[in-house]
A and B are shown apart, each in its own frame.
Chain A
Amino acid sequence: MPDTNKRVIIIGLDGMPYRLIRHLAAEGVMPNTGMLARDGVLTQMASSIPAISSVAWSSVITGVNPGEHGIFGFTDVASGTYRMTFPNFQNLKAPPFWKTGANGRSVIINVPSTFPAAELDGVLIAGFVALDLRRSTYPSWLVPKLADMGYQVDVDSGKAGRSLDLFLKDLDRTLEARIRAYRYLWAEEDWQTFMLVFTGTDRLAHFLWDAYEDASHKYHEAFLEHLNRIDQVVGETVARMNDGDALIMLSDHGFDSVDLEMHVNYFLAQEGFLKLRRTPAQSLADIDQETKAFALDPARIYVNLAGKYPRGSVPVEEREVVLGEVTGRLRSLQVEGRAVVAAIHRKEDIYHGPFLEQAPDLVVEPAKGIDLKAGLTASALTGKGPFTGKHTREDAFLLVAGPAGRTAVPANPCVSDVVGILDRLRDGHSVR
């Protein structure tokens, strides 16, 4: 018999690295998390390729790779055009765990890339990118309640460029409103699965990774306080749990410091693979016929194939040649005496499934300290952006509380294993 009383709680910390959470748990900044780690399993987890939230969380909630769920980045190119689209929940081709019928009534708060909110058995408040609260929320009766709570989907990152104080204040406000929504839904809803993701962690790490690394930094304490506040919510959650409830904590990717950004499209143009019809280009619509390859963020490279794009000029039989040339040039690329690239993946090697065709031909992973960007307006090969932290792939974390973790967690887990873990925690039985 399925155990209808067995509830699972998932707490996500966007961009929280394994080594950081271990460190903070040990140092007492996140004591509740530390306690859970001692009694359960805390392990490193691999993110998706590329290691960005939209792709990684889509794998977390569907249990499949991008070739099966169809989300390859925050941006994509609409088939047969150069129209740049921002894939959202409607483009997710595999069902999330709350739609499979195996996990009962669900409360889903702030999972990235779940906008626009779609009908489910339960409640969903979408996470980033979600610019409109009304369409971020299902069912709609919840919208005014959230508005009353001062709920906003995400911190306004535009503020960080103007004032870090303003940014931190907004970060706090966003977190506190999210906690209010969590408490309200925990108490008011009858649920079997409760998933809550904190995304401020990622924003904090982008703008203030240096503040974490440098104890004398003006915002070092603010960085730690934010994570301590989240740990309090973890403690509160543990206290609210019933006997037999299971708890998973996880992140979607890791973080590390960055000191140099490399602009992939600038590189492709410099090497003669990319030709734009005007400078600075405004969009992909400016891609010229002579283009052999172009890139989308963060470093997904597409061959400008004839028949696939309006001004595609590379015959299918020459695709291998172009891929070989691009790979070779990137491998040998050195900036300031160091290699830029850590790995270059071909889509056939990393993805499988019905949507392989729309995948980028190559995905490039940067070397330590370097971040790759694929805007079209860069005026130099490298630069220094406003960010001090960048995503990493190997260093996400996974924590399963209690002794159950030992049997539920596979060796060398990755983001697409989470649904399997969820199943195992429910003893492989359907809740309803």
Chain B
Amino acid sequence: MHNAACTCWNCPAIDLTGKVDFRACGQSKEVFAQGQEGQGEGYIVAECKRRPELGLYDPMSVTFEECPEWKRTPFGYLLDNMRVMILGIDGYLGWTLALWLAALGCEVSGVDNFARRGWVSERGAHSVVPIRGMTERLHAAKEVLGLGINFRRIDVLNERPKLREFMDEMKPEVIVHYGECPSAPYSMIDLDHATYVQQNNVLGTLGVLFMMRDSVPESSLVKLGTMGEYGAPLTGRPLFEGMFPADAVLQWDNREWSMGGELTPRDPVSFYHVSKVQDTFNIYEACKYWWLRSYDVMQGVIYGVHTDQVAADPRLRTRLDMDEWFGTVINRFVSQAVAGFPLTLYGSGEQIRGFIALEDAMQCMTRLITQPPEPGQYDVVNQMSGFYSVRQLAETVARIASTEFSLPVLIQRVENPRVESDIHPYEPIFSKLPDRFGFQPRVPLEDEVYRMLELLTQPHIRQRINEKRHLILPRTWWSGLKKQVETLEIIEEIKYEPTRKAFRP
């Protein structure tokens, strides 16, 4: 178990009472307020909120393995009935994670203002996989899976008192923050949209940090960022996990400096990505000032439709978008294949990105939750299971769609509306999750694409895709131009030999 040796120091159930330096018969609470180690030799004194009979004790002297409150699960020791609050619980990831964690025995609560549904319908689009309203979702979760989820309709940015009240009531031991607008093109539509995205994301999260300080400082924040925070630097320097490794050195002018532990440069590629970078700095500072603890999750491009819970009943399905604003690339390609719409590569199609399947993302989040950061610890993980060029992905989708589902699939290159290099080096480092959290990707790309095609070729979903096929080609240009992109080239139809369902999961 990756977290067996973690101690109460990591556990949200402890109350950090103070710090005592018995050498000077001195006590101090200041260390927690200041986030400073003082003279380093004192004892940290804690009490366990779940096991008050332990009295005052050294939180580093009890491991998760020894503590009866931490139970074995396939993803490491997990705090019994751990209280998890999901911000943005109605979204693609939020809803999926809610069911996933509830099924693992967590006490799940969540908030949403249904903004995602609003943004998508504002653009005239819809989720191609039909989704139910929250009330019906909650009923179905209870009825089909026997899972209870405590939901409150709250706008994280504009209803702070309500959110604070809900936090005080639920006392979450971990807060998963998915409650942001996740779209680069949406933020690039015009000034109003850019302003909206940055306010919603940056100021919403800033409010969450203050609330955590005042209500649940021992809780950890697992916050969704994006690999896009780093950009794709043309120098080819590796995309480290947020901070430079210990042995990184800056050389200049015949001098050198250690860069170990410093935040790596960010090179965001849209006003949306800028909002994520700003979040990163705000969270980093809050951890420093207030001893909050957080994992900032730089997620690769997400795709997929499956977890056992969302697949258990049509009413439990999570959303899937394919429009230019909210459709992520693989989800869009699969929808295009189903609609007989040539898969669209922007520019050369040689852009390389990290990717992760929905179910693998759930595994990662669970593993992060099972190993909370230490007080004051801000850490970054690059959450992806592999990286591909967009063209490779298009070919993979095309191959599976044509060989396994007899769908004729073309690939086309279109004008690139974004400002980005479409041919660039790419060396992401993504070893923390496997090395420190025991993450093992379980979903091969081909398997998930197959599963998606199975679902999306169902007639009622195919029809929903066809209804919105006019929203696939982008018309939001980073330059401000408003016009649909033109086709540069249709790539010759590729003939694939049918296999015998080689990818059936």
Contacts and interface: CB of A to CB of B under 8 A. Distances in A.
| Genuine A/B complex | yes
A160 B58 CA distance: 23
A160 B61 contact: no
A297 B24 CA distance: 12
Interface stretch (A27-35, A95-103, A281-289, A393-401): A281-289
B45 interface: yes
A283 B61 contact: yes
A157 interface: yes
Contacts of A81: 61-62, 66
Contacts of A15: 25
A161 interface: yes
Contact of A158 (B31, B43, B56): B31
B352 to A, nearest CB: 39
Contact of A52 (B22, B29, B58, B63): B22
A282 B29 contact: no
Interface string A123-157: 00000111110000000000000000000011111
Nearest to A157: B26
Interface string B21-55: 11111111111000000111101010000000011
A271 B58 CA distance: 26
Interface of A is mostly: loop
A283 B25 contact: no
Given A158-B38, A283-B7, A377-B41, A82 B61 contact: yes
B263 interface: no
B24 A86 contact: no
A156 B39 CA distance: 13
A285 B26 contact: no
B16 to A, nearest CB: 10
A160 B62 contact: no
Contacts of B9: 282
B25 A160 contact: no
Nearest to B31: A158
A203 B28 CA distance: 12
B57 interface: yes
B269 interface: no
Given A52-B22, A160-B24, A377-B41, A129 B56 contact: yes
A203 B26 contact: yes
A84 B9 CA distance: 13
Nearest to B9: A282
Contacts of A199: 25
Contact of B27 (A82, A84, A129, A385): A129
B17 interface: yes
Interface in A348-405: 371, 373, 375, 377, 385-387
B164 interface: no
Contact of B39 (A53, A87, A155, A161): A161
Contacts of B7: 282-283, 285
Contacts of A75: 22, 43, 58
B61 A284 contact: yes
Interface residues of A, number: 50
Nearest to B65: A285
B268 interface: no
A384 to B, nearest CB: 12
Nearest to B30: A158
A84 B30 contact: no
A15 B55 CA distance: 27
Given A375-B41, A387-B24, A86 B30 contact: no
B70 to A, nearest CB: 14
B319 interface: no
Contact of B20 (A129, A161, A373): A129
A252 B21 CA distance: 18
A202 interface: yes
A140 to B, nearest CB: 18
Contacts of A84: 43, 57-58, 61
A78 B66 CA distance: 13
A285 B55 CA distance: 17
B26 A160 contact: yes
B60 interface: yes
B28 A129 contact: no
Nearest to B40: A377
A375 B41 CA distance: 7
Given A156-B30, A285-B63, A131 B23 contact: no
A74 interface: yes
B130 interface: no
Contact of A129 (B40, B45, B54, B62): B45
B50 to A, nearest CB: 15
B19 interface: yes
B18 interface: yes
A74 B20 CA distance: 10
Contacts of A85: 54-58
A206 interface: yes
Given A83-B62, A153-B27, 5 more contacts: A81-B61, A158-B26, A206-B25, A297-B22, A371-B23
Interface of A: 14-15, 52-53, 74-75, 78, 81-88, 90-91, 112, 128-132, 153-161, 199, 202-203, 206-207, 282-285, 297-298, 371, 373, 375, 377, 385-387
19 contacts: A75-B22, A81-B66, A85-B55, A86-B45, A86-B58, A87-B55, A132-B17, A155-B26, A156-B30, A161-B38, A203-B24, A206-B24, A206-B25, A282-B7, A285-B63, A285-B66, A297-B22, A385-B23, A385-B41
